Amino acid sequence: MASRAEMVCYAVGALAAGALYIAIHERRRKQKKELKLRRDAPIAKELLLQILNKSAEASKAVIERIRVEVQKIQQQKNLSSEQAHQLFQQNFEHSLDQLIGAIRTQHKVSEKAMDSSFKQHQNDPAVRAAIQNMRVLSSTAAAPPAAAAAAAEDVPASLTRDKLREIMTFNAVTLEKELKPIREQMEKIRAQGQSPQVSPQVLQAVQQRISQAVNSKYGVTDEQVMAAVEKFGAREDPAFKDILQRIAQTFASSLS
């Protein structure tokens, strides 16, 4: 039978072991917490720009791949242009999220770290330019995909590359005029401490008025304009970059 002294030693030893376990566990917990804080800390502006620019560049190939896939599905299932548009948009948004996530992983950057960095540097001119580039890609990608063969057939001879640029500039100017009262109304609602929401029907009506104005002035339809965009590769053409950015910026400033 153990003596009283031995029992005391056992008890002290057990307490010491327990205290040691708690100390080790607490140390590991703190290390994990510190590691998470470091991992989620805002990344440098330079790294943020690398991720944004790399994502924008890589998304061009993603857009083209999705266009080809949707065109095949549209032909196989006889989908309408609207159905093909929705299918394209769903696939694009999902693929873009995956793409950005993969590039973040390559740079060992967490989503929270990137979000924090963006909030920290969102007013920086270089970051704003990179974000604007992403918005341009998103807005132009939202257009319904058109088959290349159909594009060549649907573009009238009068709709040249220069004429397309003129039409898109007209689109941008008209869009600014149409969205101005909407933006002013949203500002009034915000001034009252409320969160304004723009009805999809309102935006659809705006688009219809712009389409009618284009048709009246230039004698072409939306489908023909989009076919010309495909035919002349306007999305990747530097000559159209300023117009696309202008359109994207108008949407961003008016509806956000």
- C-alpha to C-alpha distance for 140 and 246, rounded to whole angstroms: 12
Q: 22 falls in which pLDDT band (50, 70, 90)?
A: low
Which range scores top for mean pLDDT: 39-53, 54-68, 207-221, 230-244?
A: 207-221
Residue 146 pLDDT: 45
Percent of the chain's residues with pLDDT above 70:
72
pLDDT of residue 6 exceeding 80? no
- C-alpha to C-alpha distance for 34 and 40, rounded to whole angstroms: 10
- C-alpha to C-alpha distance for 10 and 53, rounded to whole angstroms: 64
Look at phi and psi of residue 219 and say left if phi exceeds 0, alpha if psi is from -120 to 50, else beta. Answer: left
- Nearest Cα neighbor of 50 from 93, 114, 97 is 114
Which range scores top for mean pLDDT: 61-65, 113-117, 138-142, 214-218?
A: 214-218
Which residue did the predictor score with more confidence, 176 or 125? 176
Q: 161 falls in which pLDDT band (50, 70, 90)?
A: very high
pLDDT in tens, 63-122: 778 888 888 888 888 878 778 777 887 887 788 888 888 888 888 888 888 888 888 887
Which residue did the predictor score with more confidence, 169 or 13? 169
- String of DSSP letters for 207-246: HHHHHHHHHHHH---HHHHHHHHHHHTTTT-HHHHHHHHH
Q: 148 falls in which pLDDT band (50, 70, 90)?
A: very low
Percent of the chain's residues with pLDDT above 90:
9
Q: Which residues contact 29 (CB under 8 A, 6 or more apart)?
A: none
- C-alpha to C-alpha distance for 15 and 108, rounded to whole angstroms: 42
Residue 149 pLDDT: 45
Query: What's the pTM value of the predicted model, to 2 decimals?
Result: 0.48
Residue 229 pLDDT: 84
Among the residue ranges 75-79, 155-159, 210-214, the one predicted with the least confidence is 75-79
33: Cα separation from own chain's centroid: 31
Q: 256 falls in which pLDDT band (50, 70, 90)?
A: low
